[in-house]
Structure 1
Amino acid sequence: DEPGLRVKLAEGPQKFYIGVDPTGPSLHIGHLVPIYASAHLQKAGHQPIILMGGGTARIGDPSGKTELRQMISYAQIDKNIASQKPQISKLIDFDNTNALLANNADWLAPLNYIDFLRDIGRHFSVNRMLTFEAYKQRLEKGLSFIEFNYQLLQSYDFLELYRREGCILQIGGDDQWGNIVAGMELIRRVESAETYGLTFPLVTRSDGKKMGKTEKGALFLDSSLTSVYDFYQYWRNVPDADVERFFLTFTFLSVEECRALGAAEGSDINKSKERLAYEVTALLHGEKEAVKAREGAKAAFSGGGDKSGIPSEKIGKAELEAGINILDLFSRTSLCSSKSEARRLVLQGGARVNDVKIEDAEALIGMADAVDGELMLKAGKKRFFRIELTD
């Protein structure tokens, strides 16, 4: 009921919630569109409730998944929640505001199973649940009973937040549509109240690549998983056709400025991409780290700027004097996750050391290859790693 939701939001501040899955230690770009939407709603005066799935993560959401998730310990879930909150705080203001951080383990963990089935389970139709895409896809490969319960638990979350906080809106990715609708129907049956759902489509790139995916995997917010430099470079290298849309989606610049930056042509579109990379990196990692990444990119590609922003590692001169195999060297950096990956890179002609192409997988890199006390490793056209030599 989009018209009804518009009227409700126009009436004054409303409480809404978004669920966050803590099955991993870090959020990635694919998680962020609903969180950005929450930030916009908060700026418009509405109250966000960020619901950490400390309870539902004990089961796992089958939505968008082709196979059963691996179970993780309760202690790991709590640790993940602790590491994700600072990431969410980059976009949601929890200081001196009415924003609320909640954990559904607070009401799901103490549930009595028999009572839950009597009071909540009786409102759900198995036939209806099987019409939702998430369950239809999983049925082809096998859907466990534990996952089948997930929709009941997420629906119960909405009911609990409605009762506890007067929350009338749930937002999320469009893979959550079936779960959100089920929660709305549960509230209507149990409380005779009308609530709302708002979902967002999966963000895609114009070149067909999955949004937020790099050669190394997902684009994480945790800098120990995705370096700030690599994070910056991802945005710097998005397709021209996506610049305006990504400014609108992932920054808080005015619509007019986003459109103007996205409409740039020729060399100016590269300036817009640099601005996009800086704005998103500054939002999610801080201005200091964004400047450092920008200067690192300049140093890597044009010879100017501060090299300290490029991912780096220190190696003793004595180790290099003895010689390090090219595969060992690349695989100990973030450029290659294994020696086999490094071998493919070398044999395909994509490995360079101080801009010298290395095509021999048996090559030894020594002090003679160093320039100004360092080795600048390059994988492909745009990925760099700096080796600093120490005494």
Structure 2
Amino acid sequence: MKLYDELIWRGLIKDVSNEEKARQLLDNEQVKFYCGFDPTGESLTVGHLVQVVRMLLLQKYGHTPIVLIGGATGLIGDPKQTSERKLLTLEESLINAEKIKTQLSQFLDTKQAIFVNNYDWIGKIDMISFLRDYGKHFSINYMIAKDTVQKRLEIGISYTEFSYMLIQAIDFLHLYQNYDCKIQFGGSDQWGNITTGLELIRKVEGETSQAVGLSSPLLLKADGSKFGKSESGALWLDAQLSSPYEIYQYFLNAADADLDNYLKSLTLLSKEEIEDLLEKSKKQPELREAQTKLAAEVVELIHGSDALKESQKVTKALFSGDFNDLSTSGLMMLSKTLDTTEINEPKPIVDVLVETNLASSKREARTFIQSHAIALNNQKINHTDYMVTKDNTLHDQFIIVRRGKKKYAMIIYR
């Protein structure tokens, strides 16, 4: 199976500006392609993995990724459907850009991939040059027809966000002229911006230009709901914001209906491996073998093999109730998921149960203790006047509190 067909099989192509040209470039040549990431936050989300996996796949076939961090476009903000974005300061945008560059460099070899920041060229364009050299190529009618603008016309859109597509178009032209970049990839919500870039290249470089644009579908769950949301909010690629264990659990609990989409677009497993996992899932869904493999692949891709092993150990510990084999990093990982409270001196167990939300009141806490439902690090607590001290800790710091069989919280003893 050639690359273009594999991208279709994986569900990674929705729109394409010129399919014949795209097939030629992807299947028969080795070219530079780019994907952009705006630093509107300090971390990317798990949803961005679709673009990362696609970049890795193209790199595997000999193409060179250009990772564009939008230090300039991040100052403007791609128009949201609902409202105007809060503007970042230049300092915030550049700090976020550096964090995202570091994040993406964990996936892509910096010796093979090219990293650029569009502030380096957009920041040098004065207003008159912007209007004369770029704005003159686009009519208001053309820009208003774009979906991202259409969806905002009723509630209003500022000239700032209205001009976003022109700035992104300049990016594609700049990379085409200076890096010989012939392909832009993006999510389907970026299609209007991608085609604006193609139009600018066509008008500046002529009809014989070799640039093409492709988009991928936005990743949704089978029920149509947004992908990558957990009970605590978005799933981030930054381990300090979303622990590897939290991501592992998210995919371990994926619905059977989502497996085909997730395995194809979020992992680099081969067609044969994926089809085998899907077949096993149909025959013995209760074993959840496909979910286990999916969770392992995603966590290892994002955080590496050590974090995967810790996530698996934490999962096993929560299932068995035995936390003695967890390392400090494993327990710290767990603390980001469980209700956690900190103490620095001995404290009554009834107070701890209320503070960790394992009991709604001291009265209820005493009832749980008297019914033998409470354990500290798997040791049953039978006395309502029990004091939690440093002697209870694992690694001189952590205490796992359990109510019943499955309800957990954590105490960190400082």
TM range (shorter): 0.7 to 0.9
Match of 2:44, SS? coil
1:185 to 199, 206, 223: 199
Check 1:377–1:137 CA distance in 2 against 1; reply closer, same or farther (3 A cut).
farther
TM-superposed deviation, 1:384: 5.0
Check 1:301–1:101 CA distance in 2 against 1; reply closer, same or farther (3 A cut).
same
Check 1:368–1:266 CA distance in 2 against 1; reply closer, same or farther (3 A cut).
farther
TM-superposed deviation, 1:77: 1.5
Match of 2:151, SS? helix
- 2:176 corresponds to which residue? 162
1:258 to 274, 280, 283: 274
- 1:337 corresponds to which residue? none
Alignment pair present for 1:122 and 2:136: yes
Alignment pair present for 1:303 and 2:321: yes
Match of 2:199, SS? helix
Q: How many Å separate the matches in 2 of 1:86 and 1:324?
A: 42
1:286 to 291, 304, 308: 304
1:239 maps to a residue whose letter is A
Match of 2:301, SS? helix
- 1:329 corresponds to which residue? 356
1:91 maps to a residue whose letter is F
1:38 maps to a residue whose letter is M
- 1:173 corresponds to which residue? 187
Q: How do 1:196-275 and structure 2 match up within 5 A?
A: 196-264=212-280, 265-266=283-284, 269-275=287-293
TM-superposed deviation, 1:46: 0.5
Alignment pair present for 1:151 and 2:161: no
Unaligned runs of 5+ in 2: 1-17, 376-383, 394-398
Q: How many Å separate the matches in 2 of 1:119 and 1:105?
A: 18
Check 1:325–1:81 CA distance in 2 against 1; reply closer, same or farther (3 A cut).
same
- 2:84 corresponds to which residue? 68
Larger Rg computed on CA atoms = 2
Q: How many Å separate the matches in 2 of 1:355 and 1:138?
A: 54
Match of 1:324, SS? helix
Q: Deviations over 1:225-253 (max 9, x none)?
A: 11121111111111012223312211112
Name whichever of 110-119 and 46-55 sits farther off.
110-119
1:44 maps to a residue whose letter is Y
Q: Deviations over 1:185-237 (max 9, x none)?
A: 11001111241001001111124431101111111011111112111111111
How large is the Cα RMSD of the aligned pairs? 3.1
1:89 maps to a residue whose letter is S
Q: How do 1:29-68 and structure 2 match up within 5 A?
A: 29-62=46-79, 64-68=80-84
Alignment pair present for 1:142 and 2:156: yes
Q: How many Å separate the matches in 1 of 2:313 and 2:75?
A: 43
Check 1:389–1:120 CA distance in 2 against 1; reply closer, same or farther (3 A cut).
closer
Q: How many Å separate the matches in 2 of 1:198 and 1:366?
A: 65
Check 1:110–1:317 CA distance in 2 against 1; reply closer, same or farther (3 A cut).
closer
Name whichever of 232-241 and 308-317 sits farther off.
308-317
Q: Residue 40 of structure 2 contacts residue 88 of structure 2 at CA under 8 Å; is this kept in 1?
A: yes
Q: What is the number of residues matched between the two proteins?
A: 363
Unaligned runs of 5+ in 1: 332-341, 358-364
TM-superposed deviation, 1:42: 0.8
TM-superposed deviation, 1:129: 1.3
Q: How many Å separate the matches in 1 of 2:403 and 2:179?
A: 53
Name whichever of 299-308 and 223-232 sits farther off.
299-308
Q: Residue 49 of structure 1 contacts residue 101 of structure 1 at CA under 8 Å; is this kept in 2?
A: yes
Match of 2:65, SS? strand
2:351 maps to a residue whose letter is I
2:195 maps to a residue whose letter is V
2:187 maps to a residue whose letter is G
- 1:318 corresponds to which residue? 345
Q: How many Å separate the matches in 2 of 1:269 and 1:322?
A: 38
TM-superposed deviation, 1:145: 0.9
- 2:122 corresponds to which residue? 108
Q: Deviations over 1:143-164 (max 9, x none)?
A: 0111111011000110111110
Q: Residue 347 of structure 2 contacts residue 388 of structure 2 at CA under 8 Å; is this kept in 1?
A: no
Q: Deviations over 1:263-290 (max 9, x none)?
A: 2233564232122111110110110011
TM-superposed deviation, 1:88: 1.1
TM-superposed deviation, 1:321: 2.6
Match of 2:184, SS? strand
Q: Residue 320 of structure 1 contacts residue 366 of structure 1 at CA under 8 Å; is this kept in 2?
A: no
Alignment pair present for 1:386 and 2:410: yes
Q: Residue 75 of structure 2 contacts residue 90 of structure 2 at CA under 8 Å; is this kept in 1?
A: yes
1:375 maps to a residue whose letter is I
Check 1:385–1:82 CA distance in 2 against 1; reply closer, same or farther (3 A cut).
farther
TM-superposed deviation, 1:386: 2.9
Check 1:11–1:254 CA distance in 2 against 1; reply closer, same or farther (3 A cut).
closer
Give the percent of matched residue pairs that are identical in Structure 1 and Structure 2.
38
Q: How many Å separate the matches in 1 of 2:349 and 2:407?
A: 26
Check 1:232–1:155 CA distance in 2 against 1; reply closer, same or farther (3 A cut).
same
